[in-house]
Amino acid sequence: MTHTSLVIGSTGLIGKKLLIELSAKEGNIIAVSRRPIKNLPSNIKNLEIDFDDFLENESLPFCDHIYICLGTTIKKAGSQKEFRKIDLDYCVAFAKKARESGATDISLVTSIGANSSAKSFYLKVKGKVEEEIKNIDFHSINIYRPSLLLGHREESRFLEGVAKYIHYPLNLFLIGPLRKYRSVQAADVAYCMANAATKKGVRYFYFDDFNN
């Protein structure tokens, strides 16, 4: 039976790399996006939707595994409310719809330090989305917690621009328990996601998992 994967956030830094990794494996891939994605491999179907209308009125096609790489910044979103909508509400809604459509496995990208009790609004939202996803009855839940992501983005992010110049020497000082705070290439996270085993229960992935 052909395995079907569905990717949310397929035009983002990790999502684009994940599509490449998944397309090299056997199976079908559905890339969900708000705008058309050009030049996709033959085994990737682009599902172009309006998120708000779709989540209220439509259902997702069947998939075995949903990958959620959706994320933004408060600056780009425009407000904390809009950030929460994208990084929490959308993610949970897509996860629930995928489960209703038959998905048994989910992979979710959040952040190092994600904690629903964190003082940081960003990390609090990331922690809440993890909790919500864990309350959905997926067989396998893989949660990826990278630190600062490196790679080419269509939009400019100041901190990530600075990190391109300092992340190598800085990483050398992050040793022992601090290794998981090292910056990481988005391509390495995507490779890990595409090739991680699906085991019953919840598993977390950090820097060392992305660089094996």
Residue 16 maps to which CATH number? Answer: 3.40.50.720
Q: Find out whether 55 and 90 touch, Cβ atoms under 8 Å.
A: yes
Residues 86-92, mean pLDDT to the nearest whole number: 97
Angle value at C-alpha 119, between 91 and 152, nearest 5 degrees: 50
Whether the pLDDT of residue 35 is over 60: the answer is: yes
CB burial of residue 72 (10 Å; 0-12, 13-18, 19+) = middle
Give the structural domain span for 39: 4-210
Residues 38-50, mean pLDDT to the nearest whole number: 93
What is the pLDDT, as a whole number, of residue 168? Answer: 63
Nearest residue to 68 via CA among 105, 35, 107: 107
- The gap between the terminal CA atoms of the chain, to the nearest Å, is 30
User: 3-state DSSP call for residue 48?
Assistant: strand
- Find how far residue 159's CA is from the centre of its chain: 20
Residues 90-95, mean pLDDT to the nearest whole number: 97
| DSSP run (H or E) holding 132 | helix 121-134
Biggest alpha carbon distance in the chain?
A: 50
Rounded distance, CA 51 to CA 47, Å?
A: 11
Q: Find out whether 209 and 149 touch, Cβ atoms under 8 Å.
A: no
Whether the pLDDT of residue 37 is over 90: the answer is: yes
CB burial of residue 61 (10 Å; 0-12, 13-18, 19+) = middle
Question: What's the number of domains the chain is made of?
Answer: 1
